[in-house]
């Protein structure tokens, strides 16, 4: 107990003085620590000072108050409550410091593995495992701190004893209620060990292509090509099928299909592909795989030509496929424009010229019902009459189609191919 100061002032001055003294001590210690760390060539001591500064800024005042509390003349019941409250703050500060030490370890380990390198498979494995274990450590620290805080209260011991007595029933209830959370948490641990998917992997999930941007304790974040984010629960990684395009290596073969006319010279198309298309890809093609082959003939008679080319990663392979399609179609349209797929209708020997129209009044010589004047192509012919007994095929003069249609247009023949006097001059 401090003498010479009123008890009321002691309760105010002593705690404030302890806090100020601890902060002054903190400032002095970390000033010299920062200066000393800056003189060394290693980044570890700089990180140690940086990650320790703020936890100790919270931890030293709590320790100072706990040391000064016995010297303050206060009621025992109030002292017990204050001591318990400061103990809770001390546990929180220690948990904060422990979490920052985990961050420090993860930062140091991640610095030794560069994911921006050309062959970054080992680095991505390390990053994935470090991120997962870092979050697991955060969870353990939080659980331990929460348990320590709870058990600073006397009633918590009684609650704990009753829970142990009914551990079987409570375990079943909690297991059912927390099944998704436990399943995803265990999945994150299994992912860190088995590594079915890693950070920066290029995957296809439910038909969506993207890169694994983050692996959290409950889900993974996939960034799609159009900057959307897919949130995938970790349990789905083990319960469904997905494509991992960079599981062992980012190297990939791109495939492009084109359908061309059979008259296109395939050998010259192959030369166009190898000599002009791939060399102008701007470094997308890595020079390892290149192939052009006819892989199928469709039922419509088109040739299915497959173009293969390799690239260093799936993103470059996608751009290379687009380049192949664009340049091959451009080259074919210049050299063999007939070879591109298009719908054609070719009519030969059309017996119905569109310009032929009726020039009569619309009536034939038999006084049939008048028909409106319109092009002959829209007027159906009537059924041909049978040959008469006097007429034989040998004696019948069959006019050529041009004379026949001219006769129809002038009115000399009716729809059955007969003249006005009943003679037959049709087919």
Distance CA 199, CA 129 (A): 9
State the 10-residue block means of pLDDT for the chain, 427 residues long: 61 86 94 92 90 93 89 82 90 95 92 75 83 86 88 74 57 63 72 83 89 86 91 84 84 91 91 92 91 91 92 90 94 89 65 53 48 45 45 47 51 51 47
Tokens of 48: 């140690």
Q: Which residues pair with 202 in a beta bridge?
A: 211
Does this model's pTM top 0.95? My answer is no
Task: Note the pLDDT tens digit of each residue in 376-402.
Answer: 444 444 444 444 444 444 444 545 555
- pLDDT, residue 71, reads 80
Q: Where are the alpha helices (DSSP H) in 313-412?
A: 314-335, 401-410
Q: Which residues pair with 297 in a beta bridge?
A: 303
Distance CA 57, CA 25 (A): 10
Task: Note the pLDDT tens digit of each residue in 166-185.
Answer: 555 556 665 666 566 666 66
Tokens of 59: 């931890």
Residues 6+ apart with CB under 8 A from 386: none
DSSP strand pairing (243-244 vs 229-233): unpaired
Half-sphere exposure of 59 (CA within 13 A, CB side): 15
Distance CA 242, CA 232 (A): 11
């Amino acid at each position: 107990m401090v003498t010479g100061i009123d008890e009321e002032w002691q309760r105010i001055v002593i705690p404030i003085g302890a806090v100020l003294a601890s902060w002054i001590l903190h400032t002095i210690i970390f000033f010299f620590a920062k200066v000393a760390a800056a003189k060394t060539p290693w980044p570890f001591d700089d990180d140690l000072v940086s990650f320790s500064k703020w936890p100790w800024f919270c931890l030293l005042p709590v320790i100072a108050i706990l040391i000064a509390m016995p010297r303050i003349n206060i009621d025992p019941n109030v002292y017990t409550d204050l001591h318990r409250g400061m103990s809770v703050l001390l546990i929180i500060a220690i948990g904060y410091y422990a979490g920052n030490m985990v961050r420090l370890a993860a930062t140091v380990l991640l610095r030794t593995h560069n994911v921006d390198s050309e062959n970054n498979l080992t680095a991505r494995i390390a990053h994935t495992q470090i991120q997962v274990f870092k979050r697991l450590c955060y969870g353990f620290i939080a659980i331990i701190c929460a348990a320590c805080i709870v058990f600073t209260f006397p009633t918590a011991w009684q609650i704990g004893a009753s829970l142990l007595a009914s551990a079987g029933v409570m375990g079943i209830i909690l297991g059912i209620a927390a099944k998704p959370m436990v399943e995803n948490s265990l999945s994150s641990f299994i992912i860190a060990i088995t590594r079915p998917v890693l950070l920066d992997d290029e995957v296809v999930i439910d038909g969506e292509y993207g890169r694994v941007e983050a692996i959290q304790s409950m889900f993974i974040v996939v960034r799609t090509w159009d900057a959307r984010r897919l949130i995938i629960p970790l349990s789905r990684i083990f319960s469904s099928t997905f494509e991992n395009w960079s599981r062992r290596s980012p190297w990939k073969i791109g495939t492009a299909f084109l359908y061309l006319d059979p008259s296109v010279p395939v050998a010259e198309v192959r030369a166009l592909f190898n000599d002009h298309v791939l060399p102008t890809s701007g470094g997308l093609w890595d020079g390892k795989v290149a192939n052009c082959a006819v892989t199928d003939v469709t039922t419509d008679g088109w040739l299915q030509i497959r173009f293969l080319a390799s690239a260093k990663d799936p993103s470059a392979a996608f751009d290379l496929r687009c380049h192949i399609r664009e340049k091959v179609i451009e080259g074919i349209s210049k050299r063999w424009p007939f070879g591109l797929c298009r719908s054609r209708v070719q009519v030969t020997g059309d017996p119905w010229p569109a310009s032929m129209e009726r020039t009569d009044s619309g009536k034939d010589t038999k006084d049939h019902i008048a028909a409106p004047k319109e092009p002959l192509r829209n007027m159906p012919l009537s059924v041909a009459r049978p040959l008469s007994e006097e007429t034989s095929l040998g004696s019948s003069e069959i006019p050529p189609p041009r004379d026949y249609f001219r006769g129809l247009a002038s009115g000399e023949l009716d729809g059955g191919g007969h003249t006005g006097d009943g003679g037959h001059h049709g087919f």
